[in-house]
A and B are shown apart, each in its own frame.
Chain A
């Protein structure tokens, strides 16, 4: 596979994962506001904003819910907004138009063309969460379309790699906001916040099946970090990205492959054998920061080995 194509597929997938995450956080947040007091809602909004803000967007203290939602969802100049993520995903997809199936492209293209002209003000007073729910559904359908219409070859595994590196980082970041320093600095999460956290990760029902509806912070942390079978847990994501790495660039020289696989194996070991009791003693933020850092290292190693390498070195 062309290195450029791998690069486009990988980023298309990362941006789609980011778009889905952004969409779901906004949907859950808008839905749960009804159940919260204005004060609680305010604190919980700040958490969403922190989770979704890239370098491009820092809302002012006085910003209203409407303005924040608009910036996070529809501001084309905010590089971390939902619409920007979709645009980047589509731009990457367009550059590998011959590699992805027509069904995938049409679905992605339609979704973007539908959302791009939307004006939040026009439906803000009529179930604004609805459009974000639909976007999540559309993105799930896109994932299914990819699964069933694209060859599960190297390109597919670059999509997997992008999706799960992004997911491991996004979930780690969310956990950090709920368990790390921010949660200890006076605004510690309440019962509803924990439920909302599970919903952010589309994990509420899955959690209840494992632990019953007994909402406890250590169990939530354990579930979202270490559950082996839940698709939005960090461990699941790491498992998948490790598997994806084993399937890409099969023909590359062994030393190049080894560099990537070693890093992935180390990350996998830390989530496979992690113990929640040890982390809840106060080291969880270090642990989460470590996961993020290791994901970055894997990304860099993949680029050095398969994508951005100097042609002279392989001749």
Chain B
């Protein structure tokens, strides 16, 4: 996912527009904050007039008091810690591969108790509706009969699994682990940008960031009243366990594609923290519709699989035949009710970018409630009127292909050349159902350490929601950072970093 920007700071200055504020309007932007630019975006630390928001006051003060080199030193210590722990991803070259850490920023992002309460309520409401929706489309299809969502949108989706039709799932919980991406609008309101309902990753970074930042700012961490998140692995374990048909001696395994996967650190981390087995496809065998792990003492039954492999690859007999990562026969064992797969296959149909546009309506439909969290305004190009609007405003919109993620297959209107926009318009007219468009969003900015000084960088927010018998949300999140000045791209695959997120208890 990639966030487009209306105009970067550089562009605004080139256009002669205002960059930041005048010196007399920023009494608190001295010392390490001297070069801190405030733009149109909502800033997490500073008010538009340059004052410090109350919940940031303590951090602002402490950081200003530190000797110049001290921040740099602590930042270095954080990075070394990540490197030694092996929190890295591998970049493959010609005959040498190098390991890099995903950049972590020392300065925590702080969220107030009131903001969090609203987020938590909104996220719970949303996952409830999404699970009811999944249950519906894999059962009666009431929402389709009522005409709220077009049939073609669901049955035509690449992620719809007809194999799941009529299959009961424990507690009706299809999505057990969800990572929802939120951003702040310019008025400071959090809105949902994307639901990740398949195999969301990043939770290990939430925990690893906390581990290093708590040490780097131990005094202020204690006095600020930051809510703990360290129980996430226990919550995940309890969620997975609640999916098993029996509660005694449940055998749980984390299924990973293996050491070459970029999220392998996270798979191993979660297995270790939960105290369960980390398995790869070839460690499992299916016999008589039951799943077993191959152990030194013989075969051992597995009851719940927390899979970190996409649907397509999970079972070569049911889905992609050329997959070597999966377990032949596991889907039949699942159908037979002998093993639970979390998240359930087929959840991807509900985090489709087109279905996303319907989520507020789904919340009203299933829960008879008003959505607590809004969506980003979204134009469905499949609707004739919307398509006309999109084509007329291509230079101001971000257009995304429905089935893609990670920032691929999209057009960022304000940044594209006329030729690029024209070429994209042709694609759009040829296959409008495959596209949605959104206005460019100014993500909020937060203070980040850049070469020893503090500058504003755009951030988003990804909390993690667990849903089994109960719904739990660890009071924290992964805050992703666009490290390049003015950039709105927070994806780690495209140069993004991350930072610790403090949710205050009061």
Tell whether B380 is near chain A: CB-to-CB under 8 Å: no
* Complex contact A94–B259 (CB within 8 A): yes
Among the stretches A54-62, A106-114, A121-129, A202-210, the one at the interface with B is: A106-114
Flag whether A41 is at the interface (Cβ < 8 A): no
Q: Give Cα distance in the complex from A306 to B264, angstroms.
A: 26
- Residues of chain B contacted by A99 (CB below 8 angstroms): 272
Shortest CB distance A111–B (Å): 10
The reply to whether A97 and B296 contact each other, CB–CB distance below 8 Å, is no
Given contacts A2-B293, A91-B259, A109-B84, contact A98 B298 (CB under 8 A): no
Are B298 and A97 in contact, CB atoms less than 8 angstroms apart? no
Q: B368 contacts the other chain (Cβ, under 8 Å)? A: no
Cross-chain contact of B85 among A106, A154, A251, A311 (Cβ < 8 A): A106
Instruction: Name the residue in A6, A94, A98, A102 with the highest tally of chain B Cβ atoms < 10 Å from its Cβ.
Output: A98
CB-based nearest B residue for A92: B259
Contact of A102 among B85, B285, B296, B297 (CB under 8 A): B85
Decide: B296 and A154 in contact? CB cutoff 8 A: yes
**Overall SS of chain A's interface:** helix
Which of B86, B265, B287, B294 sits near A2, CB closer than 8 Å?
B294
Q: Mark A73-106, 1 if CB is under 8 A from B, else 0.
A: 0000000000000000001001101110010011
A250 at interface (Cβ–Cβ under 8 A)?
A: yes
A307 interfacial contact with B, CB 8 Å? yes
Q: How far is the CA of A249 from the CA of B299 in the complex (A)?
A: 12
* Cα of A110 to Cα of B277 in the assembled complex, Å: 25
**A315 neighbours in B (Cβ, 8 Å):** 287, 299
Q: Is A282 engaged at the interface, CB distance under 8 Å to the other chain? A: no
CB of B296 within 8 A of CB of A249, answer yes
Q: Which of A258-315 contact B (CB under 8 A)?
A: 306-307, 309, 311, 314-315
Asked if residues B299 and A311 are in contact (CB atoms below 8 Å), the reply is yes
Task: Give CA–CA (A3, B279) in the complex, Å.
Answer: 10
Interface: B416 (CB within 8 A): no
User: Is there contact, CB below 8 Å, between A3 and B86?
Assistant: no
Q: Is A16 an interface residue (CB 8 A)?
A: no
Which residues B194-229 have CB closer than 8 A to chain A?
none
A181 at the interface (CB under 8 A from B): no
In Å, the complex CA distance between A1 and B258 comes to 17
Cα(A302)–Cα(B50), bound, Å: 69
B271 part of interface (Cβ distance < 8 Å) = yes
- CA A99 – CA B282 in complex, angstroms? 18
Q: Does B140 contact A (CB under 8 A)?
A: no
Interface pairs A-B: 5 shortest CB-CB: A251-B297, A98-B272, A97-B268, A249-B296, A306-B296
A residues engaging B (CB < 8 A)?
1-4, 6, 91, 94-95, 97-99, 102, 105-106, 109-110, 113, 154, 248-253, 306-307, 309, 311, 314-315
Given contacts A2-B294, A251-B295, A252-B296, 9 further A-B contacts (CB under 8 A): A1-B297, A94-B264, A98-B271, A98-B272, A98-B278, A105-B85, A109-B84, A311-B292, A315-B299
A–B pairs, 17, beta carbons within 8 Å: A2-B294, A2-B296, A4-B283, A4-B294, A91-B259, A94-B259, A94-B268, A95-B259, A97-B278, A98-B269, A98-B272, A98-B278, A249-B296, A252-B297, A306-B297, A311-B287, A315-B299
